C-alpha cells in the first residue's frame, strides 16, 4: 500500500515536471531564427585530431553578419575560438603538414599558427581572392580572382577600375549575352585561376587570356579545381560557351603546371561536367557529369577517368540518384558521395573495383563530407528541420557510431518547442506516388482545428527536405500556428530522374495535379486541418505556381508569391541563363509560341479572386522585378485584394536581417488578416 502511494506520488511529480518544462518552451520566432549561429564550413587536421570551422552570427542593429573561426577536438571536446573578431575570417584550411591554418580575411589569404598567433598575409593582390586550395606538399596554393582577361598585371586591373569609377559617363554598350548574372552586372571581368608560391608570395595567372570563368559562375560545385597528388598537374572546370547564355556545357580540363597555357580537354558529355577530384594514389580522376546539353537539372553521374589509359567509365549509369559531393578513401578503393534521397540528403558508399553502391547514412540532410587521413572516420555537417547545421562524425567500420561534435545553438533550441518532420504519400497524376512533409504546430492538440500552410518549393527541380532553412523555414510557419504541408510533386529531385524530368514542358500540368491531389488528401485525412482556413505560398517556381493557382482554383483563403514568374515570355526576355526557360518551356517564344501561351499564368489572371501578397526584389536578375510589376498591376485592375512588398536592395533571396524580419512580419500579418475568425 505504501509502495503504491509512493508510485502514484512519483507519477504526479513527473507529470508536473513535464508540464513545467512544456510551459517554459515556446514557438520559434524571427528573432530566434536570426539569433541562430550558422556553421558553414570546416576542415579536419591531417592527424585527424582537430577540426577548424566557421560560425556566422547576425546582428539586426548592424544589419549584417560576421564570420569567426573556431577549433574543436575531433572527439567534440575543447571548443575554442581561433579568430574571433569583427573582420570576417572564413574558409579555414589546415596546411598539409597540419602545422598552420590558412583562412580568408577581407579578400586575401592569411595564415596563422594553430593557436591563432604569428599571423602572416599570404596574398596582397589588388583584385582579391574568392577561394583557394593547398597543394599536397603545402608549398603552393591555387586561388581564384576576378580580373580583366586582357590585363597581364594588377596595375592594369587597378587602372581600369579607377578610370571606370572616375568617369562621369556610366553608360554601357553590350554586344553579347550574359551581360548580367544572378544579381551582378557582369562587366568585363572574369574569374581566373592563379598559382601562389606560399613561401615567396609570387603568383601567376594560370588561365591568362581566357575569356570565360574558372571556376564557372553557374552550375559548378565548391570543388571545381584541384591539384594532382604529386602536385604537377591541376584539373579544373570551365564552360567555354557561358557567354552565350544558352550553354550548360561545362568541361573538365587538365593542365600541367609547367605549361598551364595548353590545357587538355578530357570530358566528353555535352552537359555539365564538374568537381574533378583525384584519387589519392594518382591513378584516377573522378567527377560528376550530366549527359544532356542545355538541361541544368539532369541526373549527375559519377565518372571515372583512368589517367594512364584515358579510359572513361560511368560508375552510376544504372543508379537512379543524382550524385553531389564526392570524396575518395585514402586507399583509393572507396568513393563516398552525397545524393538527394526523398526528403533526405543521404551519404552513399561506392566500391570502385566492384562498382557496388550502398547507403552509408540515410536520414536528415548531410553535406560537407570529409574523411580523416586514416579513413576510419567520416566528418560532415548534419541538419534537420528542428536542428541547424552541426558537425557530426561517423566511423567507417560499419558500426554506425554516429556522434554529434558541436552544440552551437543549444541554448536557443532548449527554449523552443518544435515538432519533427513527418511524411505522407498520396496518389498524384497518372497514379504516381507523391511524398509530402507535414509539420504540426508546437503544443499540437489532435482534437483542435488548425489552419493549413501549403508550401510550394522552387527550382522547379528542387525539393522540400529535412533541413533547417533560413529563408523558407518550415518550423517558422508551424510556429505561427499552422499545419505545414510541403509537397514534393513532379519535378522534385530525390525520387529518380524520370520524376524530375516530368515537369519540363509541362509546368502547369502533372505537377498541378500532384499538388491539388496532395491538398485534397490532406483535407480529407487530417481532421485537425481547418478546411475554411488554408493558405498557399511559394518562391521562384513556387511563385509561378502560386500565380497559376490564382487563375485555376479558389481552394485557398489567401496566397503569397515571392519572386515568382507571371509572364513566361517576358521572363524569357529578361532572365540571364537562357538555357533554363529554353529547356523547360521548349525553345524560344517564336519557336514554341503555343507552350509560352499555354503555361503562362498571366493568360489566366482574369479568373483570379483569391487575395495575394507579392514580394519581389530589384537585384533579382533570374526573375526580373517586372514580373511582380505586371502581376500587381493585373490584380489591382481586376479589383483583387493584393499587397506588394518591394525590396530595392535584395536579390532572388532576402538576406539582410532587417529586411528578413520585415518579410516574415508582413507574411504572417497577411495570412492572419485572412483567417476566418470564427474558425480560429
At residue 2, the pLDDT reads 40
Same domain, 151 and 50: no
At 221 the pLDDT is 84
Q: Give the chain's end-to-end CA distance (angstroms, integer).
A: 47
Q: Given this model, what pLDDT does residue 9 score? A: 53
Residue 601's Cα: distance from chain center in Å? 27
Q: Is residue 306 part of a domain?
A: no
Contact 217, 139 (CB under 8 A): no
Q: At which of 115, 136, 165 does a domain end?
A: 115
Neighbouring C-beta atoms of residue 12, cutoff 10 Å: 10
Rounded-to-integer distance, Cα 245 and Cα 579, Å: 6
Let me know if residue 310 belongs to a domain: no
Q: Is the pLDDT of residue 256 over 80?
A: yes
pLDDT at residue 22 is higher than 60: no
**Is residue 228 a contact partner of residue 235, using CB atoms and an 8 Å limit?**
yes
Residue 222: band (very low, low, confident or very high) from pLDDT cuts 50, 70, 90: confident
Average pLDDT, stretch 311-329? 97
- Give the domain CATH number at 510: 3.40.50.1820
| 665 pLDDT higher than 80 | yes
Local confidence band at 16 (pLDDT 50, 70, 90 cut-offs) = very low
- pLDDT at position 7 is 47
> Is residue 270 located within the same domain as residue 390?
no
Is residue 34, in this structure, part of any structural domain at all? no
15: in domain: no
Q: Please state the rounded mean pLDDT for residues 181-199.
A: 96
The predicted structure's pLDDT at residue 3: 44
* CA 482-486-492 angle, 5° bins: 170
Cβ atoms < 10 Å from Cβ of 36: 19
Query: Who has greater pLDDT, 93 or 220?
Result: 93
Helix 510-525 and helix 541-550, axial crossing angle in degrees, nearest 10: 80
Question: What confidence tens digit (pLDDT) does each residue in 39-76 have?
Answer: 999 999 999 999 999 999 999 999 999 999 999 999 99
Mean pLDDT of 382-405: 94
Three cell numbers written together for 156: 592594369
Is residue 64 within 8 A of residue 657, CB to CB? The reply is yes
Determine if the peptide bond prior to 215 is cis (ω within 30°). yes
Q: Measured between alpha carbons, how far is residue 6 from residues 2, 14, 17, 20 in Å?
A: 6, 12, 16, 21
The answer to whether the CB of 406 falls within 8 A of the CB of 39 is yes
Q: What is the mean pLDDT of residues 289-312?
A: 98
Instruction: Calculate Rg over the CA atoms of the chain.
Output: 26
* Average pLDDT for the chain: 95
pLDDT given at position 679:
42
Dist. CA 401–CA 391, nearest whole Å: 14
Is pLDDT of 13 > 60?
Answer: no
Distance CA 136, CA 231 (A): 6
Does residue 550 share a domain with residue 510?
Answer: yes
pLDDT of 8 strictly over 70 = no
232 in a structural domain: yes
Do 493 and 392 sit in the same domain of this protein?
no
DSSP letters spanning 37-93: -EEEEEEE-TTSSEEEEEEEEEETTTTEEEEEEEEEETTS---EEEE-SSS-EEEEE
Does residue 499 have a pLDDT over 70? Answer: yes
224 and 165 belong to one structural domain: yes
Which position has the grid cell 517554459? Answer: 24
Contact yes or no for 221/326 (Cβ under 8 A)? no
Question: Would strands 50-59 and 38-44 be described as parallel, antiparallel, or unpaired?
Answer: antiparallel
Q: How many domains does the chain have?
A: 4
Please check whether residues 326 and 446 belong to one and the same domain. no
Asked if 418 and 479 touch (Cβ cutoff 8 Å), the reply is yes
Query: What stretches of 352-496 adopt beta strand conformation (E)?
Result: 356-361, 365-371, 377-384, 387-395, 403-404, 422-427, 433-439, 450-456, 483-488
Say if residue 146 is in the same domain as residue 228.
Answer: yes
pLDDT-derived band at 399, boundaries 50, 70, 90:
confident
CA distance 24 to 415: 7
Residues 605 and 632 sit within 8 Å (Cβ to Cβ): no
226 and 373 housed in the same domain: no
The answer to which of 297-306, 344-353, 394-403 has the lowest mean pLDDT is 394-403
The closest alpha carbon to 178, from 213, 220, 207, belongs to 213
Asked which of 353, 381, 416 is the last residue of a domain, the reply is 416
Phi-psi region of 303 (alpha: psi -120 to 50; beta: other; left: phi over 0): beta
Domain limits at 129? 123-281
What mean pLDDT is predicted for residues 298-305? 98
Residue 97 belongs to some domain of the structure: yes
Given a contact cutoff of 8 angstroms between Cβ atoms, the answer to whether 337 and 302 are in contact is: yes
Give dist(CA 363, CA 380) in Å, integer: 13
| Partners of residue 237 on adjacent β-strands | 252
State which H helix or E strand residue 161 sits in. Answer: helix 154-166
Q: How far apart are CA 618 and CA 649, in angstroms?
A: 6
Mark whether 152 and 225 lie in a shared domain.
yes
Which domain CATH number covers 328? 2.120.10.30
The answer to whether residues 652 and 577 belong to one domain is yes
Which grid coordinates belong to 343? Answer: 526528403
Within a domain: residue 305? no
3-state SS assignment for residue 87 = coil
Question: For residue 426, what are the β-bridge partners?
Answer: 434
Name the strand (E) or helix (H) holding 513: helix 510-525
The residue out of 80, 115, 150 marking a domain boundary is 115
| Cell of residue 69, nine digits | 573561426
Same domain, yes or no: 514 and 583: yes
pLDDT at 23: 59
Where in 177-297 does DSSP place strands (E)?
180-181, 184-185, 190-197, 203-205, 225-227, 233-238, 251-256, 264-265, 273-278, 284-289
> Could you read off the pLDDT of 552-578 as tens digits, one per residue?
999 999 999 999 999 999 999 999 999
In a domain, 307, yes or no: no
| 403 in the same domain as 458 | no
Amino acid at each position: 500500500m505504501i509502495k503504491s502511494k509512493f508510485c502514484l506520488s512519483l507519477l504526479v511529480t513527473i507529470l508536473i515536471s513535464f508540464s513545467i518544462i512544456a510551459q517554459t518552451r515556446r514557438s520559434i520566432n524571427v528573432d530566434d531564427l536570426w539569433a541562430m549561429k550558422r556553421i558553414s564550413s570546416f576542415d579536419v587536421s591531417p592527424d585527424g585530431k582537430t577540426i577548424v570551422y566557421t560560425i556566422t552570427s547576425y546582428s539586426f542593429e548592424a544589419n549584417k553578419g560576421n564570420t569567426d573561426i573556431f577549433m574543436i577536438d575531433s572527439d567534440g571536446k575543447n571548443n575554442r575560438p581561433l579568430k574571433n573578431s569583427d573582420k570576417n575570417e572564413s574558409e579555414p584550411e589546415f596546411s598539409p603538414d597540419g602545422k598552420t591554418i590558412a583562412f580568408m580575411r577581407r579578400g586575401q589569404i592569411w595564415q596563422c599558427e594553430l593557436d591563432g598567433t604569428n599571423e602572416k598575409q599570404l596574398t596582397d593582390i589588388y583584385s582579391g581572392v574568392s577561394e583557394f586550395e593547398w597543394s599536397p606538399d603545402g608549398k603552393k596554393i591555387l586561388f581564384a580572382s576576378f580580373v580583366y582577361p586582357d590585363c597581364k598585371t594588377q596595375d592594369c586591373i587597378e587602372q581600369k577600375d579607377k578610370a571606370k569609377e572616375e568617369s562621369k559617363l556610366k553608360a554601357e554598350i553590350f554586344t553579347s549575352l550574359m551581360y548580367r548574372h544572378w544579381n551582378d552586372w557582369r562587366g568585363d571581368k572574369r574569374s581566373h585561376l592563379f598559382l601562389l608560391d606560399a613561401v615567396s608570395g609570387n603568383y601567376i595567372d594560370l588561365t591568362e587570356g581566357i575569356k570565360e570563368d574558372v571556376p564557372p559562375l553557374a552550375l559548378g560545385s565548391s570543388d571545381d579545381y584541384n591539384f594532382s597528388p604529386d602536385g604537377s598537374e591541376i584539373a579544373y572546370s570551365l564552360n567555354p560557351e557561358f557567354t552565350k547564355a544558352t550553354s550548360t556545357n561545362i568541361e573538365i580540363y587538365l593542365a600541367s603546371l609547367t605549361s598551364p597555357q595548353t590545357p587538355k580537354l578530357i570530358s566528353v558529355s555535352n552537359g555539365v561536367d564538374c568537381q574533378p577530384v583525384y584519387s589519392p594514389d594518382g591513378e584516377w580522376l573522378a567527377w560528376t557529369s550530366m549527359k544532356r546539353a542545355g538541361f541544368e537539372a539532369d541526373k549527375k553521374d559519377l565518372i571515372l577517368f583512368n589517367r594512364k589509359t584515358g579510359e572513361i567509365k560511368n560508375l552510376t549509369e544504372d543508379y537512379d540518384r543524382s550524385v553531389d559531393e564526392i570524396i575518395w578513401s585514402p586507399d583509393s578503393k572507396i568513393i563516398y558521395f552525397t545524393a538527394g534521397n526523398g526528403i533526405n540528403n543521404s551519404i552513399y558508399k561506392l566500391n570502385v573495383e566492384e562498382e557496388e553502391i550502398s547507403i552509408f547514412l540515410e536520414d536528415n540532410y548531410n553535406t560537407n563530407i570529409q574523411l580523416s587521413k586514416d579513413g576510419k572516420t567520416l566528418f560532415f555537417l548534419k541538419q534537420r528541420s528542428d536542428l541547424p547545421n552541426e558537425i557530426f562524425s561517423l566511423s567507417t567500420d560499419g558500426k554506425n557510431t554516429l556522434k554529434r561534435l558541436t552544440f552551437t545553438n543549444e541554448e536557443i533550441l532548449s527554449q523552443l518547442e518544435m515538432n519533427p518532420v513527418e511524411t505522407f504519400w498520396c496518389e498524384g497524376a497518372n497514379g504516381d506516388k507523391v511524398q509530402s512533409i507535414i509539420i504540426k504546430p508546437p503544443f499540437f492538440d489532435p482534437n483542435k482545428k488548425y489552419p493549413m500552410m501549403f508550401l510550394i518549393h522552387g527550382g522547379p527541380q528542387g525539393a522540400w527536405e529535412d533541413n533547417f532553412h533560413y529563408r523558407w523555414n518550415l518550423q517558422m510557419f508551424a510556429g505561427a500556428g499552422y499545419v505545414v504541408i510541403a509537397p514534393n510533386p513532379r519535378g522534385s529531385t530525390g525520387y529518380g530522374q524520370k520524376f524530375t524530368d516530368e515537369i519540363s514542358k509541362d509546368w502547369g500540368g502533372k505537377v498541378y495535379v500532384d499538388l491539388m491531389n496532395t491538398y485534397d488528401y490532406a483535407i480529407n485525412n487530417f481532421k485537425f486541418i481547418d478546411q475554411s482556413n488554408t493558405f498557399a505560398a511559394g518562391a521562384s517556381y513556387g511563385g509561378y505556381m502560386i500565380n497559376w493557382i490564382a487563375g485555376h482554383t479558389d481552394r485557398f483563403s489567401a496566397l503569397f508569391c515571392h519572386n515568382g514568374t507571371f509572364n513566361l515570355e517576358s521572363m524569357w526576355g529578361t532572365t540571364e541563363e537562357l538555357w533554363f526557360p529554353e529547356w523547360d518551356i521548349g525553345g524560344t517564344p517564336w519557336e514554341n509560341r503555343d507552350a509560352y501561351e499555354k503555361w503562362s499564368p498571366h493568360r489566366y489572371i482574369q479568373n483570379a479572386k483569391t487575395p495575394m501578397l507579392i514580394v519581389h526584389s530589384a537585384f533579382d536578375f533570374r526573375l526580373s522585378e517586372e514580373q511582380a510589376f505586371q502581376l500587381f498591376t493585373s490584380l489591382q485592375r481586376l479589383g483583387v485584394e493584393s499587397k506588394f512588398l518591394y525590396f530595392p536592395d535584395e536579390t532572388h533571396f532576402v538576406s539582410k536581417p532587417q529586411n528578413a524580419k520585415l518579410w516574415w512580419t508582413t507574411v504572417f500579418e497577411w495570412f492572419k488578416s485572412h483567417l476566418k475568425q470564427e474558425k480560429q
